[in-house]
Copies of this chain bind each other. A is one copy, B any other.
Amino acid sequence: MISVGVNGFGAIGKRVAWAVSQQNDMRLIGVAKTSPDANARKAVGMGYDMFCADKNFDFAASQKRFADFGIKAKPLPEIFGDIDIIVDTSPGKVGAINKEKIYKGQKFHMIFEGGEKADIGMSFNARANYDSAVGKESLRVVSCNTTGIIRVLKPLTEIHKLSEVFVILARRAADPKEDGRGPINSYVPTSLPSHHAPDVQTIMPGVDIVSFGGKVPMTAMHQHAMIVETEDKPDSGTVTDKLAKETRLALVGNYRGKPPSTSVIIEMARDLDIVPRNDIMNIVLLKDTIKTKGNKIMLMYYVHQESDAVPENIDAIRASLSAAEQGESMSKTDKTLKLDIMKKKLEKYFP
């Protein structure tokens, strides 16, 4: 049984805590937060042991904050002796500080998220480099967008030699809960080219890839348009068949004669109620956008930014602790987090 601690209880932390709780080979020892608030109450209400963190590592002050708020929380370091691994879901770059200041010298392994720089640990994607991650003390689960790109590209490398890849992203502006972020009514270019392509290369170094795009006023999912140049003449049927075999991709057909919008997809997830929060951990590939032209493949897909990297976290835990082989871990994760059911339902209702 793997004992897991989760530091941070935001968009990723709360989902990873839930995902860990669904595994029969894992036990959630507790979750840590810096601020007592309604979400802390919710965590306690869900039966999670609460630990208090502090950005200046003043755990006594943090404990008092929680106590004043009516929540009994233990200082974060008290979890250290009881865990095999910590999943650090702190805001970007804070994980690196935690690693340096409080994790160093401890016996547990560490999983970080994509907001950290690539040097914090080996960049991880279950489909692409699980085997190399086995036994590694520190892993970094790459971001939602990078995870999406890799899940599409990795299978393609198995049927084609890719010469060049372009990804154009229409990024969601904010997560649904983030009421203070923009843009409203604007197209805001990302830095150009964007960080996603180099991030893909931390996992697939052989891929010649450029990414660019911008943020647009929507919160449900990211959208990617991809152009993949191959060294031969690809065929859209073969490409579709190959991608359709991937559990972590769901290939959806048209809705009322057109590729479905992100709203249509999310509403289906809400209705289906397969996992909490209308999460869709599968990348949603718009089947009818898969086209080939000469030596190029074009396609479009959606990335549910809040949840698609969650199964990767579960696999990263097993890989880091040498607890399972790739196929066993991924299949277990897909079953327990119901990516298999989600895929089946989405593909059935949008044939």
Residues of A within 8 A of B (CB): 164, 166, 168, 170, 183, 185-189, 191-193, 210, 212-214, 216-221, 223, 225, 227, 258-263, 286, 288-289, 291, 293-294, 296, 298, 300, 302
Contacts and interface: CB of A to CB of B under 8 A. Distances in A.
A185 to B, nearest CB: 5
Given A185-B217, A214-B223, 9 more contacts: A164-B294, A168-B225, A170-B187, A183-B263, A185-B218, A187-B220, A189-B300, A192-B259, A216-B216
Contacts of A214: 170, 223, 261, 300
Given A192-B300, A289-B212, A263 B218 contact: no
Nearest to A288: B192
Given A212-B300, A216-B217, A298-B212, A187 B289 contact: no
Given A170-B170, A170-B214, A223 B261 contact: no
Given A214-B170, A298-B210, A189 B259 contact: yes
Contacts of A210: 293, 298
Contacts of A168: 168, 225
A187 B261 contact: yes
Query: Which of A217, A291, A293 has its CB near the most chain B CB atoms (within 10 A)?
Result: A217
Given A216-B216, A258-B191, A166 B227 contact: yes
Nearest to A215: B261
A188 B262 CA distance: 7
B187 A223 contact: yes
Nearest to A221: B187
A210 B288 CA distance: 15
A108 B182 CA distance: 50
Contacts of A170: 170, 187, 214, 216
Nearest to A267: B186
Central interface residue in A260, A262, A296, by most chain B CB within 10 Å = A262
Contacts of A291: 192-193
A293 B208 CA distance: 11
A138 B269 CA distance: 50
A261 B185 CA distance: 10
B225 A212 contact: yes
B216 A263 contact: no
16 contacts: A164-B294, A170-B187, A183-B218, A186-B263, A187-B261, A187-B262, A188-B261, A188-B263, A189-B261, A189-B286, A192-B259, A193-B291, A212-B289, A212-B298, A212-B300, A217-B218
